[in-house]
Amino acid sequence: MLRGMPEGHTIHRLARLHRAALTGTTVAVSSPQGRFAEGAAVLDGRRLDTIDAIGKHLFYRFSDAPALHIHLGLFGKFRTVRGVDAAPPGEQTRLVLAGRQPRDDTPVRLQLSGPTACELCDPAAEAAIRARLGPDPLDPRCEASAFLATLARRRAAIGQVLLDQRAIAGVGNVYRAEALFLEGVHPDTPVTALSARTCTSLWQRLVTLLTAGARSGRIVTVAPADRPGGGRVRREDAHYVYRRAGLPCRRCAEAIRAWPLGGRPVYACTGCQPPP
DNA sequence: CTATGATGGAAAC
DNA sequence: TTTCCCTCATAGC
């Protein structure tokens, strides 16, 4: 089961896992909850050809059918269930994609609950979604220059801009806080006060962090030198500032602060991230 | 057991 | 800028 926080890394990881599980095969599609019953009937029995991840959005493409658009939002979760003995999906399951894994013919079910969006999506609707998305650090075709271009049109605080999916797609509240800490940039800094060099470095930092998250399935930003050694990183050692208000900074021991920015709490160490 | 809040974002004012 | 929706782990009684 995947319970990673649904920022862009989770979405790209799901795309990769779901491709391995079901693309190229015929898929049984259902909606035990019933809220996607009509759409499921349209897709049921068709071949799943490709899955695209863009920012926090997923597009499942079936032969001779509209695309399936999924956005997890804050509460959405996918779980993967394998084997014939697996318990049936719960009644709150919005969507089930069931088939056999091409690699070994294992029965696989992908079960979705609580999504913000689970809908059929024609090309015009998909174009509208894409038009609202800035460059995605997890898309190898996207470059820092595209991010700099979006920043050049803005004056808001960088901490606000990073949550705006039109400016950069896939960053959420954890990566916002952690990337700004690692770059030594205070969230309230207006983007107009940032150098091109700093913006480029911030983009590259997000590429690195999101890539690691998509690989591992969790967000660990703290370098080994800044946390206890040993095996698996504990939850409380995974972040520098996110959800650590009042605790000492791992680098300078100053108390981490939290305040609302862009509608959500942001976290920073004013010792390591000088206020503007 | 119920209350709370969380990673997101669109719609309503 | 605030409200609302979606689900579930965790905190508190």
Which residues make up the interface with nucleic strand C when CB must lie under 7 A? A 3, 33, 73-75, 77, 90, 92, 94, 113-114, 116, 263
Which nucleotide has its C1' atom closest to residue A74's CA? B8
pLDDT greater than 90 at residue A85: no
CB A264 within 8 A of CB A177: no
The overall average pLDDT reported for chain A is 94
For strand B, give the nucleotides within 7 A of a protein CB.
6-10
* pLDDT tens per residue across span A96-132: 999 999 999 999 999 999 999 999 999 999 999 999 9
Which nucleotide has its C1' atom closest to residue A56's CA? B8
CB A135 within 8 A of CB A167: no
Q: Distance from residue A188 (CA) to nucleotide B8 (C1'), in Å?
A: 21
CB A96 within 8 A of CB A111: yes
- Give the pLDDT of residue A5: 65
Q: Distance from residue A155 (CA) to nucleotide C11 (C1'), in Å?
A: 40
For strand C, give the nucleotides within 7 A of a protein CB.
2-3, 5-9
* pLDDT tens per residue across span A12-62: 999 999 999 999 999 999 999 999 999 999 999 999 999 999 999 999 999
The model carries a pTM of 0.96
